[in-house]
């Protein structure tokens, strides 16, 4: 699209300032698949027909849904924005759409589930994000493709040959218009996903009419951030996405440094490998691992979007709540090392990461060493050092060849600052030393 949008769009670094400061968000995958309780892709994985999938719709009744409680759990975990699946690949909508009756308002529950969540989370101080699936296995004009539940059903494919993806795109654009019109300010739009060239009836920007779609988002909510899954590229102005979305991986470094600027990135992560509620899954990540993922991400200049798959009754189950509480206990004491922090130009010692916020350099110690940590290039640059969790001083030593008590430090490269550490690590998931740099 070369047309200039009606409303001028602020530069990406201005629009994304809240996002790259917040650093930590809540992803929520919730839908009728939560009632099946075995992954959000079950309709495709098990090749279920519409009829076979229908019981989950007919029995979806989240009687314990309490978004105020969700907001409290997420806030206490240290999260400051959320992204909720307004519609997933199965086509089921958590919002009351005028364009379909395949929504939560048409289940026994009978209500729009997005509005109360937006209200509760916004009131608590969260930024609002909507996930919307570009894929739709329910829509009558969505052509069967390589991911569709009926991909191996020759008769079904034959019978649906006349489907018109343009009509489906009209529906998709109409629903995005509803989402960006009926819920007040929306800060972020998270589309999922494009797969041009992957095989049978693969779809991407041409089928979704992505250029038109992103223009619509920017017209309705000029401040909005849009992710990279529309297949339009990223970080090159309003016609492209605003951030990248590595999924279930820890990238080796900052993802997008090109054209002299760093385009935001956000790693989306699960608690147990599944996005939707998955009752029998045993792959729960311990809180310590989640904390390490978060700080590793921020040390590389990224955000982490951590997912919870609520149950069919509308609750975060006890395992999810325990994971959030574990991260929250660390975040309570270490927030300054995450919020508003990012990459540092200093190179950390082995088994450590740095995050930095202005003149505060945070040394995150992943594996506790015996007695000393040697920090390259920091001699003469640190005014004060302390543990972040309790503000107790951490003593510093700068090697002086003339000092007879420094004999044991011999051989350290020039410019090294040494920290004297207690033998026993502080009782937190990852200890952090706050180094206050001289101006
Ligand atoms: C994937 C999956 C999906 C999940 C998403 C989150 O693309 O299709 O189930 O919603 O990733 O990033």
Mutate to test the pocket of ligand 1, among 275, 276, 307 (most ligand atoms within 8 A of CB): 275
Q: Are residues 324 and 425 in the same domain?
A: no
User: Residue 350 pLDDT > 80, yes or no?
Assistant: yes
Distance in angstroms (rounded) separating the CA atoms of residues 309 and 85: 10
The string of DSSP codes covering 377-395 is T-TTTEEEEEETTT--B-E
Residue 409 sits at φ, ψ, to 5 deg, of -100, 0
The label of the residue with tokens 């599944």 reads 274
Domain assignment of residue 5, yes or no: no
Q: Which of 305, 337, 369 is the last residue of a domain?
A: 337
User: Residue 280 pLDDT > 60, yes or no?
Assistant: yes
Q: Are residues 396 and 319 in the same domain?
A: no
| Distance between start and end Cα atoms, the chain | 46
| Ligand 1 contact, 33 CB (< 6 A) | no
Q: Are residues 186 and 329 in the same domain?
A: yes
With beta carbons less than 8 A apart as the criterion, state whether 395 and 419 touch.
Answer: yes
Q: Are residues 375 and 300 in the same domain?
A: no
| Ligand 1 contact, 268 CB (< 6 A) | yes
- HSE-CB at 37 with a 13 A cutoff on CA atoms is 14
Query: What is residue 439's predicted lDDT score, i.e. its pLDDT?
Result: 87
Domain assignment of residue 229, yes or no: yes
Q: Are residues 141 and 171 in the same domain?
A: yes
User: Residue 4 pLDDT > 80, yes or no?
Assistant: no
* Structure tokens given for 163: 């489907």
With beta carbons less than 8 A apart as the criterion, state whether 16 and 266 touch.
Answer: no
* Structure tokens given for 430: 């990852």
Q: Which of 284, 314, 337 is the last residue of a domain?
A: 337
CA of 437 to the centre of ligand 1 (A): 41
User: Residue 267 pLDDT > 70, yes or no?
Assistant: yes
CA of 278 to the centre of ligand 1 (A): 14
Q: Are residues 260 and 360 in the same domain?
A: no
Report whether the peptide linkage leading into residue 47 is cis, meaning its omega lies within 30 degrees of zero. Answer: no
Query: What is residue 406's predicted lDDT score, i.e. its pLDDT?
Result: 86
Residue 257: give the domain boundaries.
12-337
pLDDT in tens, 228-264: 999 999 999 999 999 999 999 999 888 777 555 689 9
Distance in angstroms (rounded) separating the CA atoms of residues 106 and 112: 9
Question: Is 238 strand, coil or helix?
Answer: coil
Domain assignment of residue 302, yes or no: yes
Domain assignment of residue 118, yes or no: yes
* Structure tokens given for 146: 């390589």
CA distances from 195 to 85, 145, 337 (A): 19, 11, 37
CA of 430 to the centre of ligand 1 (A): 29
Domain assignment of residue 308, yes or no: yes
Give me the CATH number covering residue 112. 3.20.20.80
Query: What is residue 1's predicted lDDT score, i.e. its pLDDT?
Result: 47
Ligand 1 atom with least separation from CA of 268: 12
Distance in angstroms (rounded) separating the CA atoms of residues 44 and 138: 11
Ligand 1 atom with least separation from CA of 248: 12
Q: Are residues 206 and 127 in the same domain?
A: yes
Nearest to 71 by CA among 16, 25, 17, 21: 25
pLDDT band at 391 (very low <50, low <70, confident <90, very high): very high
- Residue 278 CB coordination number (10 Å): 22
With beta carbons less than 8 A apart as the criterion, state whether 218 and 230 touch.
Answer: no
Q: Are residues 32 and 170 in the same domain?
A: yes
CA of 360 to the centre of ligand 1 (A): 36
Distance in angstroms (rounded) separating the CA atoms of residues 212 and 18: 26
User: Residue 118 pLDDT > 70, yes or no?
Assistant: yes
pLDDT in tens, 7-65: 689 999 999 999 999 999 999 999 999 999 999 999 999 999 999 999 999 999 999 99
Nearest to 34 by CA among 324, 307, 328, 289: 307
Q: Which of 280, 307, 337 is the last residue of a domain?
A: 337
Q: Are residues 157 and 274 in the same domain?
A: yes
Residue with the smallest CA separation from ligand 1 atom 4 is 275
Query: What is residue 259's predicted lDDT score, i.e. its pLDDT?
Result: 52
pLDDT in tens, 323-348: 999 999 999 999 999 999 999 999 99
Domain assignment of residue 4, yes or no: no
Residue with the smallest CA separation from ligand 1 atom 5 is 192
pLDDT in tens, 81-108: 999 999 999 999 999 999 999 999 999 9
CA of 192 to the centre of ligand 1 (A): 7
CA of 88 to the centre of ligand 1 (A): 9
Q: Are residues 257 and 369 in the same domain?
A: no
Q: Are residues 194 and 307 in the same domain?
A: yes
Q: Are residues 241 and 363 in the same domain?
A: no
* Structure tokens given for 417: 């600052």
Order of strands across the sheet with 360-365? Answer: 352-357, 360-365, 432-437, 382-387
203 or 403: which leads in pLDDT = 203
pLDDT in tens, 304-314: 999 999 999 99
pLDDT band at 6 (very low <50, low <70, confident <90, very high): low
Domain assignment of residue 6, yes or no: no
| Ligand 1 contact, 278 CB (< 6 A) | no
Domain assignment of residue 345, yes or no: no
Distance in angstroms (rounded) separating the CA atoms of residues 35 and 64: 13
Query: What is residue 407's predicted lDDT score, i.e. its pLDDT?
Result: 86
Give me the CATH number covering residue 409. 2.60.40.1180
Structural domain total, the chain? 2
């Amino acid at each position: 699209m070369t047309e200039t949008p009606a409303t001028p769009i602020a530069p990406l670094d201005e629009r994304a300032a809240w996002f790259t400061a917040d650093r930590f968000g809540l992803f929520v995958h919730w839908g009728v698949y939560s009632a099946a309780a075995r992954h959000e892709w079950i309709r495709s994985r098990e090749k279920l027909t519409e009829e076979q999938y229908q019981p989950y719709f007919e029995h979806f009744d989240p009687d314990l849904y309490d978004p105020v409680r969700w907001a409290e759990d997420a806030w206490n975990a240290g999260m400051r924005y959320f992204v909720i699946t307004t519609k997933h690949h199965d086509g089921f909508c958590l919002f009351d759409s005028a364009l379909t009756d395949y929504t939560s308002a048409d289940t026994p529950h009978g209500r729009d589930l997005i509005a109360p969540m937006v209200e509760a989370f916004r009131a608590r101080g969260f930024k609002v994000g909507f996930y919307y699936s570009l894929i739709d296995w329910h829509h009558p004009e969505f052509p069967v493709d390589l991911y569709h539940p009926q991909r191996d059903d020759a008769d079904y494919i034959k019978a649906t040959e006349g489907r018109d993806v343009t009509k489906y795109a009209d529906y998709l654009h109409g629903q995005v218009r509803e989402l960006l019109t009926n819920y007040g300010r929306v800060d972020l739009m998270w589309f999922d996903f494009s797969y041009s060239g992957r095989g049978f009836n693969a779809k991407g920007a041409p089928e979704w009419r992505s250029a038109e779609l992103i223009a619509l988002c920017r017209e309705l909510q000029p401040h909005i951030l849009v992710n990279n899954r529309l297949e339009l590229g990223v970080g090159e102005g309003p016609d492209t996405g605003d951030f990248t979305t590595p999924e279930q991986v820890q990238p080796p470094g900052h993802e997008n440094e090109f054209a002299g600027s760093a385009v935001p990135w956000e790693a989306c992560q699960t608690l147990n490998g599944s996005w939707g509620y998955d009752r029998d899954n045993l792959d729960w990540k311990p809180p310590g691992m989640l904390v390490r993922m978060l700080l590793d991400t921020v040390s590389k200049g990224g955000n982490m979007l951590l997912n919870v798959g609520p149950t069919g009754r509308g609750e975060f189950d006890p395992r999810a709540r325990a994971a959030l509480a574990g991260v929250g206990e660390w975040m309570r004491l270490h927030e300054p090392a995450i919020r508003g922090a990012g990459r540092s130009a200093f190179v950390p010692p082995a088994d450590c990461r740095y995050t930095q916020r202005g003149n505060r350099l945070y040394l995150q110690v992943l594996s506790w060493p015996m007695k000393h940590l040697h920090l390259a290039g920091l001699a003469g640059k640190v005014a004060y050092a302390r543990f972040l969790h309790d503000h107790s001083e951490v003593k510093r030593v700068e090697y002086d060849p003339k000092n007879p008590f420094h004999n044991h430090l011999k051989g350290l490269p020039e410019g090294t600052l040494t920290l004297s550490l207690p033998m026993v690590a502080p009782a937190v998931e990852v200890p952090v030393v706050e180094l206050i740099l001289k101006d």
